[in-house]
Amino acid sequence: MPTAPKPDWVLRNASVIDGTGAPARTADIAIAGDRIAAVGALTDVTGASEVDVAGRVAAPGFIDVHTHDDRAVLSDPNMACKVSQGVTTVITGNCGISLAPLETDTAPPPPSDLIGHRPEHYFARFADYLDALDSEPPAVNVVAQVGHSTLRMGTMNGLDRAATPGEIAGMRARLEESLEAGAVGMSTGLFYPPANAAPTGEVVELAAALAPAGAIHSTHMRDETEHVLESLDETFEIGRRARVPVVISHHKCAGSPNHGRTRESLPRIEAARRAQPIALDVYPYVAGSTVLNPRRMMNASRVIVTWSKSHPEATGRDLSEIAASWGCSEAAAAERLQPAGAIYFIMDEGDVRRVLSSPFAMIGSDGLPHDSHPHPRLWGTFPRVLGHYARDLGLFPLEEAVRRMSGLSAAQFGLTDRGILRPGAYADLVVFDARTIADRSTWAEPTRPAAGIDLVMVNGRVVWRSGAGTGARPGRALRLQELGPKGRDREVTA
Ligand code: ZN
Ligand code: CU
């Protein structure tokens, strides 16, 4: 029998939580190259490097299914905000906005400015974007979607109307070319002005290109407030008519009149799931964050300015305070701050817990990496679910928390051999202390790294250790063609 090559790493005495929801068990983990070579009692194996991780959990690296990291993975490739949480893969292109395919000589309208505020941030072809990641890889793996608003911007001369049949054909050609290049799906942001005038049929005609390619559809729905149920129905209809798995982004019922209404929305989603593949993602906070829109403050009880081009000194301050000091209304202050971004306190804690507790909820940060004073979800989402919600509040077992940020997400997006800790899988993994893991980012100090994360590995290389990034950038741009079938989340349900 040929002797197996000596592993590069052996992690000893780990409490292994494998991402399927199965109970933790003690084992050693051997890593050779970019794969996990063995898991078990590996007494006669010696690694080039050995680490005793007794008392620590080893889990599959977390998959952040909802990000706006499209440009951050190129401009800040160490991605400390994510690897410091144990995240090893990010899914980009959410909420209708992506950096490709778009050729433009003007600054794109909000909310695209959250990911790219200059024409040179954009890529004419999706292949160019993925190639850029290949030549300058980040620390994390990247799975990229195409934004519907981005397709509209590249095809239409005005965005305040439905696309014509000719424009739909143009968008569909660009979408198909992007899928061929490796995009994994198309997102919409029907809530936002660049796509709000798009009727359901326009989205269906584009989404119909996804199913034959094995791609998925994700959506920041048209409405997450008063008409959230109608928006859910529209989302189900798009999935059904286009025969494509759908991901409902950052599910919430926003604005005080709608607090408690996840009691209606979640059963609605569960019922629809019996007939078609539907998933959702959620972040563990009662506040959202996006561009500051003076006409759409969403019944927020508090608004914090996250950036302002015209008044950078307002960053980090409450809008009410700014309005008082300027002697004007909050709407007028929001107008003067343009262009700008904000955090909106719009959710009910009970709703957040109800959505997090849903067995098909995937964890996605929705963090905004270019904001000067970002929402703390950018640095805190995953440790907050593990520490605050699973351990401290006992909302669900740790194994279940891990599954919702690894195995479930990998199955949904078809990430073969990721999101699971077993022999043969990619060595994307995180070692953390379940007793001390905690988010440290706050509304006042939003960029503090989490506590309790000991070691993070991507494709077999260490990217974070003992509170600091290593500078290694072993991430890969994963193409649709190398992924498995989507929408199979039931298979990993414990
Ligand atoms: Zn969104
Ligand atoms: Cu988003």
Got the DSSP string for 17-52? --SSSPPPEEEEEEEETTEEEEEE--TT---SEEEE
Q: How far is the CA of 68 from the centre of ligand 2 (A)?
A: 6
Q: How far is the CA of 367 from the centre of ligand 2 (A)?
A: 7
Q: So what's the pLDDT on residue 477?
A: 98
The answer to whether 163 touches 198, Cβ cutoff 8 Å, is yes
Nearest CA-CA partner of 99 in 65, 75, 78, 77: 75
Q: CATH for 295-339, among 3.50.50.60, 3.30.1330.10, 1.20.120.530, 3.30.1490.130? A: 3.30.1490.130
Assigned superfamily of 62-294+340-413: Metal-dependent hydrolases (3.20.20.140)
Per residue in 370-402, pLDDT (tens digit) is 999 999 999 999 999 999 999 999 999 999 999
Q: Among the bound ligands, name the one nearest to the CA of residue 91.
A: 2
Residues above pLDDT 70, as percent of the chain? 98
Contacts of 52 (CB under 8 A, 6+ apart): 12, 13
**Which strands form 303-308's sheet, in the order they lie side by side?**
287-291, 340-345, 303-308
pLDDT (average), residues 465-487:
92
CATH number of 9-60+421-437+446-470: 2.30.40.10
Q: Among the bound ligands, name the one nearest to the CA of residue 192.
A: 1
Nearest CA-CA partner of 314 in 366, 371, 367: 371
Q: Give the confidence band of 361 by pLDDT, cuts at 50, 70, 90.
A: very high
Looking at the predicted structure, is the pLDDT value of residue 1 above 60? Answer: no
Per residue in 113-131, pLDDT (tens digit) is 999 999 999 999 999 999 9
Q: How far is the CA of 9 from the centre of ligand 2 (A)?
A: 36
Distance separating alpha carbons of residues 270 and 277, to the nearest angstrom: 10
Looking at the predicted structure, is the pLDDT value of residue 490 above 70? Answer: no
Q: Which tokens in the block code for residue 220?
A: 């920041």
Q: So what's the pLDDT on residue 417?
A: 96
Given CA atoms 209, 211, 214, 220 in this order, what sign does their dihedral have? positive
**Burial track 258-271 (b if 16+ CB lie within 10 A, e otherwise):** bbebbeebbeebee
Q: So what's the pLDDT on residue 487?
A: 57
Q: How far is the CA of 235 from the centre of ligand 2 (A)?
A: 16
Q: So what's the pLDDT on residue 491?
A: 43
Q: How far is the CA of 366 from the centre of ligand 2 (A)?
A: 5
Q: How far is the CA of 250 from the centre of ligand 2 (A)?
A: 7
pLDDT (average), residues 48-75:
98
Distance separating alpha carbons of residues 267 and 422, to the nearest angstrom: 34
Tokens 């995240």, residue located: 87
Distance separating alpha carbons of residues 174 and 177, to the nearest angstrom: 5
Q: How far is the CA of 369 from the centre of ligand 2 (A)?
A: 11
Looking at the predicted structure, is the pLDDT value of residue 184 above 70? Answer: yes
Length of the chain: 494
Q: How far is the CA of 14 from the centre of ligand 2 (A)?
A: 34
Distance separating alpha carbons of residues 389 and 374, to the nearest angstrom: 21
Local structure of 287: helix, strand or coil: strand
Q: How far is the CA of 95 from the centre of ligand 1 (A)?
A: 4
Q: So what's the pLDDT on residue 50?
A: 97
Q: How far is the CA of 93 from the centre of ligand 1 (A)?
A: 10
Nearest CA-CA partner of 151 in 117, 185, 182: 185
Q: So what's the pLDDT on residue 493?
A: 40
Q: How far is the CA of 438 from the centre of ligand 1 (A)?
A: 25
Count CB-CB contacts under 10 A for residue 279.
25
Q: How far is the CA of 333 from the centre of ligand 2 (A)?
A: 24
Q: Which tokens in the block code for residue 189?
A: 């942001």
Per residue in 27-43, pLDDT (tens digit) is 999 999 999 999 999 99
Nearest CA-CA partner of 422 in 36, 30, 3, 40: 36
Q: Among the bound ligands, name the one nearest to the CA of residue 368.
A: 2
Q: How far is the CA of 59 from the centre of ligand 2 (A)?
A: 26
Q: So what's the pLDDT on residue 295?
A: 82
Q: Among the bound ligands, name the one nearest to the CA of residue 365.
A: 2
Looking at the predicted structure, is the pLDDT value of residue 2 above 90? Answer: no
CATH 3.30.1490.130 residue ranges in the chain? Answer: 295-339
Q: So what's the pLDDT on residue 256?
A: 94
For the chain, state the CA radius of gyration. 22
Looking at the predicted structure, is the pLDDT value of residue 488 above 60? Answer: no
CA angle 87, 269, 281 (to 5 degrees): 15
Q: How far is the CA of 401 from the centre of ligand 1 (A)?
A: 22
Q: So what's the pLDDT on residue 4?
A: 66
Q: How far is the CA of 187 from the centre of ligand 2 (A)?
A: 10
Q: Among the bound ligands, name the one nearest to the CA of residue 68.
A: 2
Q: Which tokens in the block code for residue 399?
A: 């194994």
Q: How far is the CA of 388 from the centre of ligand 1 (A)?
A: 24
Q: Among the bound ligands, name the one nearest to the CA of residue 224.
A: 1
Tokens 């002797």, residue located: 3
Q: Give the confidence band of 269 by pLDDT, cuts at 50, 70, 90.
A: very high
Q: Give the confidence band of 5 by pLDDT, cuts at 50, 70, 90.
A: confident
pLDDT (average), residues 207-236:
97
Question: Out of 133-147, 163-177, 286-300, which region has the weakest mean confidence (pLDDT)?
Answer: 286-300
The answer to whether 351 touches 261, Cβ cutoff 8 Å, is yes
Q: What integer best gives the mean pLDDT of the chain?
A: 96
Looking at the predicted structure, is the pLDDT value of residue 298 above 80? Answer: no
SS3 annotation, 82-109: HHCCCEEEEEECCCCCCCCCCCCCCCCC
Distance separating alpha carbons of residues 414 and 1, to the nearest angstrom: 34
Q: So what's the pLDDT on residue 489?
A: 46
Looking at the predicted structure, is the pLDDT value of residue 485 above 90? Answer: no
Q: How far is the CA of 268 from the centre of ligand 1 (A)?
A: 20
Nearest CA-CA partner of 114 in 253, 291, 262, 243: 291
The answer to whether 476 touches 135, Cβ cutoff 8 Å, is no
Nearest CA-CA partner of 435 in 400, 363, 383: 383
Q: How far is the CA of 355 from the centre of ligand 1 (A)?
A: 16
Q: Which tokens in the block code for residue 219?
A: 């959506």
Nearest CA-CA partner of 456 in 447, 467, 446, 443: 467
Looking at the predicted structure, is the pLDDT value of residue 187 above 60? Answer: yes
Q: How far is the CA of 433 from the centre of ligand 1 (A)?
A: 31
Q: How far is the CA of 24 from the centre of ligand 2 (A)?
A: 32
Q: So what's the pLDDT on residue 3?
A: 60
H or E segment and range at residue 288:
strand 287-291
Q: Among the bound ligands, name the one nearest to the CA of residue 191.
A: 1
Per residue in 9-18, pLDDT (tens digit) is 999 999 999 9
Q: So what's the pLDDT on residue 297?
A: 80
Q: So what's the pLDDT on residue 242?
A: 97
Looking at the predicted structure, is the pLDDT value of residue 357 above 60? Answer: yes
CATH 2.30.40.10 residue ranges in the chain? Answer: 9-60+421-437+446-470
